[in-house]
Amino acid sequence: MVKEGGTLIISILSVESSYKKNKEIKAIKHHDILQWWVTNSGASRIKTYSLDQDIHIYYINKPNEFENLIKLAKSNNQKHYSDIIIKNYEFKIEKGMKLSEFNNLLKTSKLNPHSELFNNNHLIWLPDNREYKTITTPSKG
């Protein structure tokens, strides 16, 4: 059950890549995904690398900045990924929503009905039924 409502922004990318191998190819079977889970407590930026099922999660701790974080998410996606975004989705999630209810929304949008909550309240959509986990750490630019 979602403890705090928010907005989940999902961008499906036209590539499948591996951060570890520094490799990117045109998506054939799976797609890299960029997601933002934005609440009144802050945001999570989640990037999945589909070739090796790697996931990078970056937390933005900015309470009461909901609208600014939504703008940041959308502008960041456009600035860095506009040439490879093939589809965007935006879901408004109410406090108390069950994952099964959210999964039904995903089905309605023709997306894999598989989501999880991590770190108590961060909602993430998983694009397929493979196991995603953090296997690499992004370099600090």
Examine the pLDDT at 141 and tell me if it is beyond 60.
no
Q: Enumerate long-range contacts of 133-139, CB under 8 Å, 24 or more apart.
A: 133/53, 133/54, 133/55, 134/54, 134/55, 134/56, 134/57, 135/20, 135/52, 135/53, 135/54, 136/19, 136/20, 136/54, 136/56, 137/56, 138/19, 138/56
99/96 Cα distance (integer angstroms): 9
- pLDDT classification of 29: cutoffs 50, 70, 90: very high
Per-residue pLDDT tens over the stretch 114-131:
999 887 678 899 999 899
Per-residue pLDDT tens over the stretch 68-77:
999 999 999 9
- pLDDT classification of 36: cutoffs 50, 70, 90: very high
Domain ranges within the chain, ordered by starting residue: 6-125
Question: What is residue 26's predicted lDDT score, i.e. its pLDDT?
Answer: 98
Residues 55, 97, 90, 105, CA torsion sign = positive
93/137 Cα distance (integer angstroms): 29
Question: What is residue 109's predicted lDDT score, i.e. its pLDDT?
Answer: 95
Give the global pTM.
0.92
